[in-house]
Amino acid sequence: MASLVNYSSESDSESEESATVNEFGKRPRTDTLPALPSVFKHARPDDDPKKYQGRIRTVPHTEGNWPTHVYIEVKCGKDIEAVLKRIDIADVIADCPDDVCHVSLSKCLYLKEFQFDSFKNQITKGLASVKPFSLAFAAIAPLTNEVGTRSFCSLEVGYGYNELEKCMSIVDKVAERHRQPKFYQPPRFHASIAWSLKLAPIEKAISLIPAEIEEKLRQTQVPVAHVYIKIGKKVERIRLGAKP
């Protein structure tokens, strides 16, 4: 059973406000820690699976650790919508919030508040060497997360794979500097558009997709100009090829 990147694809309200640092990227020295920005304030997570359509938290919540995810966004155009219509069956839940799906460049990482700026700034600097590119999906595949709690209908990237791998390599280096895990090897870049608590409904749904719909999906190129970093509920957008 294939392994899937373990991250939440739930939609949260997104903010593109930029983190700020002092000259030379240094923070002023203080005797007490500054209060967290309001965007990071939330109640303790509720792990009751009944409230989340049966989904189970795979990593226990630890106070002070902020879930962090690096990814690109793909608009759910008419070709992806055609796939979603075909897989609309029992026990399969479409997951393309705001008509956008994600292609991960990192595992779900956990950062401390003092690491936010350095993490973002180092990734921004690294991605300045990557020019905007295009990708296309090569196949529709069933994937399951590492702990076997959910299975997904995933669109695997073909065209544009090398560019994504370059972006991933940059993110991996920054993650390691912050004592976080690297991405899965070998990477299977994909966008998950639906999920189920079991594998069988996903496999059945994929079997219902006509070959001509999958072929149209392969022929559609999607432009990629930005990489996104989500820390807690805060989202930063980084333009590829932009000098920091």
Q: Which domains occur in the chain, in start order?
A: 3-22+38-239 (3.90.1140.10)
CA-based nearest residue to 3, from 110, 103, 149: 149
CA-based nearest residue to 76, from 137, 125, 117, 133: 137
- List of E strands, the chain: 3-4, 66-75, 93-94, 100-104, 109-111, 133-135, 137-145, 151-157, 190-196, 222-224, 226-231, 234-239
CA-based nearest residue to 132, from 224, 220, 70, 227: 224
Contact 3, 145 (CB under 8 A): yes
DSSP 27: P
Model pLDDT for residues 146-169, shown as the tens digit of each residue: 889 999 999 999 999 999 999 999
Where on the phi/psi map is residue 231: left (φ > 0), alpha (ψ -120 to 50), or beta? Answer: beta
Query: What was the pLDDT predicted at 243?
Result: 82
Give pLDDT < 50 ranges for the chain.
Answer: 1-45, 51-55
Query: What was the pLDDT predicted at 133?
Result: 98
Query: What was the pLDDT predicted at 48?
Result: 52
**Separation of CA 244 from chain center:** 23
Query: What was the pLDDT predicted at 153?
Result: 98
- List of E strands, 54-211: 66-75, 93-94, 100-104, 109-111, 133-135, 137-145, 151-157, 190-196
Structure tokens at 117: 């700026």
Structure tokens at 156: 């695997």
